[in-house]
Amino acid sequence: MSEHRIKNIFVNGPIDASFIGDSIAKHRSKTEIGGHSIFLGQVRADIIEGKKVQAIDYTAFEEMANEQMHQIREAVFEKYDLTCMHIYHSLGKIAVGEICLFVFTSSAHRKAAIDACAETVERLKSTLPVWGKEILEDETYQWKVNK
């Protein structure tokens, strides 16, 4: 059976670039690692019917999302020879230009880290119960739709 416990992936507000730097630095002692792959989601200033997005307000069914993420993590660890995986997703209003998703995989060899990161991003985008409300410049909003 798995050694991984269900973790809470959610953080309130944007993910600081310095937090990402610190996360990377923590892996210095894990000298079996040869490659890290990181994906960051950044809130984009899309134009929706002539109005610019100024922020995305994220909500989630947190307990279910954490359970789903746990299953993704187990499946990805089963498939790839990973050393570790860290996932963080923002909740609340995240302004354009801010980071709202941080996916971080590490492995002895680059291929496992890269493929695992890409697959994790796809899986979490399609299966985590998280919703983004795009707040437009005139304070109206629209529910985001993932492509």
Residues that bind a second copy (CB under 8 A): 17-22, 24-25, 27-45, 96-99, 106, 108-110, 113-114, 117-118, 121, 147
Output 5 or 28, the one with its CB closest to a second copy: 28
Scored b (16 or more CB within 10 A) or e, 76-115 reads bbeebebbebbbbbbbebbebebbbbbbbbbbeeeebbbb
Alpha carbon distance 128, 62 (integer Å): 9
Question: Binder to another protein among 101, 113, 116, 135 (CB under 8 A)?
Answer: 101
Interaction between residue 55 and another protein (CB under 8 A): no
Output 17 or 64, the one with its CB closest to another protein: 64
Coil, strand, or helix at residue 140? coil
Q: Cα dihedral angle (116, 122, 126, 128), rounded to 10 degrees?
A: 50
Q: How many CB atoms lie within 10 A of CB 123?
A: 17
Q: Which stretch binds another protein (CB under 8 A): 11-19, 23-31, 73-81, 130-138?
A: 130-138
Please state the closest distance from residue 99 (CB atom) to a second copy, in A: 7
Summarize as ranges the residues that interact with another protein (CB under 8 A).
41, 58-61, 63-65, 67, 89, 100-101, 110, 121, 124-133, 143-146
